[in-house]
Structures are given as structure tokens and as C-alpha cells.
A and B are shown apart, each in its own frame.
Chain A
């Protein structure tokens, strides 16, 4: 079965700092990769997704992620964070088989941006 690891559980940054959140998955076949964000008290919102093609994908709110197949990684980046980016970030994968289309999530990374 596939699994997803997010190594940073808590990250604290000052405004304007650069952000990189790690995500690694374990699965030998083809995966689809997602980053979701959950603002305090709210539901999960899709930040960006990767299915195929250019491994550098751009999402909403200035976020981007790079798929590195050889490293089984899909790290999330933002050049300059804002206080409003304070949230929990989840990396997730789906795999293409006949067993459904469920998302497997990482444990999440709580980001706090200090004003």
C-alpha cells in the first residue's frame, strides 16, 4: 500500500521568509500528487496538483511544487510567505488502479507565520 510522509510537523517562519515543505511518498507505480491547505477552522482546499508533464507545477496563492520522481518527492514551495499563509498543509497521493480513487494523506505540516 502507498504511504506519504511529511517530515516537518511544525514550521515557524517570519513574513517574507521562503518556505519549503517536504513530502515523500512510497509507491512504485504511477501516482497523482496533491497539496491541500486547511486554514484554521476550515475545510481542505486544493492548492495544486500534479498528474503528468512538467514536474514543476504552480498553484494558487503563489505556491508551487516540484515532482522529483527519482526521490519520490513532491515538495511545496513559496518564495515569500505572508501571515495569511498560517495553516496546516497536507500532501496526498492517489494511484491509478481498479481499487478506487482514495487519497492517502501525509500527517500534515502546521505552518505559523509571524507578522
Chain B
């Protein structure tokens, strides 16, 4: 158990719908990261939040958005869902991850949310 929690574990929805994935970081970690794992794209970085602010953006679609709340939990919102959005969505957290992150900053992953779009 990494200490990172994600809900829900599984999500089945239809095309065109909107879902919200939730992540709680390890105690004391300031950064939250979202990754997407799919068969064709592998593991891809989506977005990073550090202490409530967006820190870095990767291959995140415009239909997707995220935020980090004052208690440091994060939500990933996926809208206008398409079949191709079916994937495992992982959240990770690390103690730092800011602009001058110590080189020893390490990310720990949650159990993931499996999204199936029908």
C-alpha cells in the first residue's frame, strides 16, 4: 500500500458522458500527478499539480481537466467521453515536485481507476 488512494476503482459509462476521478495523496505530499495507461499509448503523463497550482501539463486532451483542492486531494474531470478514453487512470504523489524539487523526489502510485466507455 503506497498511501495514495483513488476512487472509484472501476467506472463504466457511455460515450458523451462526464466523470470525475478522485485522488488523495500520501500524507505530507504536495504534488499530485495524473497518468493514463492504455494498450496503444502506454503510460502517459497528463498533468501535475503542486500545492494547489498547475505545475506541468502533458498529453492531456482539452476535454479533460483537473484541480487540486486546499486539502491537497485532486480530481480529474473527463467530459464528452469517447470510446478511446477507456483506460487505467493512475494518480501519483510526491513530497515536492515544485520548480526546485530535490533530486530525490519520488512518485508513489495509487491503485488506479479503470474507466470503460461503452
Distance in angstroms from A25 CB to nearest chain B CB is: 15
B43, B48, B50, B111: residue with the most chain A Cβ atoms closer than 10 Å: B43
Q: Does A43 contact B (CB under 8 A)?
A: yes
Closest A residue by C-beta to B6: A43
Determine which of B44, B58, B99, B109 lies in contact with A44 in the assembled complex, contact meaning CB atoms within 8 Å. B109
Question: How far, in angstroms, from A94 to B101 measured CA to CA in the complex?
Answer: 11
List CB contacts (< 8 Å) of B80-118 with chain A.
90, 92, 94, 96-99, 101, 103-112
Number of A-B residue pairs with CB-CB distance less than 8 Å in the complex they form: 64
Inter-subunit contact A45/B45 (CB<8 Å): no
Closest A residue by C-beta to B43: A105
Q: Does B31 contact A (CB under 8 A)?
A: yes
Determine which of A43, A96, A100 lies in contact with B112 in the assembled complex, contact meaning CB atoms within 8 Å. A43
Interface size on B, residues (CB 8 A): 31
Inter-subunit contact A101/B55 (CB<8 Å): yes
Binds B, one of A12-20, A46-54, A78-86: A46-54
Determine which of A43, A49, A102 lies in contact with B45 in the assembled complex, contact meaning CB atoms within 8 Å. A102
Determine which of A30, A51, A98, A103 lies in contact with B107 in the assembled complex, contact meaning CB atoms within 8 Å. A103
Inter-subunit contact A102/B101 (CB<8 Å): no
Question: How far, in angstroms, from A34 to B106 measured CA to CA in the complex?
Answer: 9
List CB contacts (< 8 Å) of B13-33 with chain A.
31, 33
**Chain A interface category by residue count:** 20 to 34
Determine which of A43, A100, A105, A108 lies in contact with B56 in the assembled complex, contact meaning CB atoms within 8 Å. A100
CB neighbours of A90 from chain B (8 A): 43
Question: How far, in angstroms, from A49 to B104 measured CA to CA in the complex?
Answer: 9
Determine which of B45, B90, B103 lies in contact with A52 in the assembled complex, contact meaning CB atoms within 8 Å. B103
Inter-subunit contact A51/B109 (CB<8 Å): no
List CB contacts (< 8 Å) of A40-73 with chain B.
42-46, 49, 51-52
Chain A residues in the interface with B (C-beta under 8 A): 30, 32, 34, 36, 42-46, 49, 51-52, 90, 92, 94, 96, 98-105, 107-108
Chain B residues in the interface with A (C-beta under 8 A): 2, 31, 33, 35, 42-45, 48, 50, 55-56, 58, 90, 92, 94, 96-99, 101, 103-112
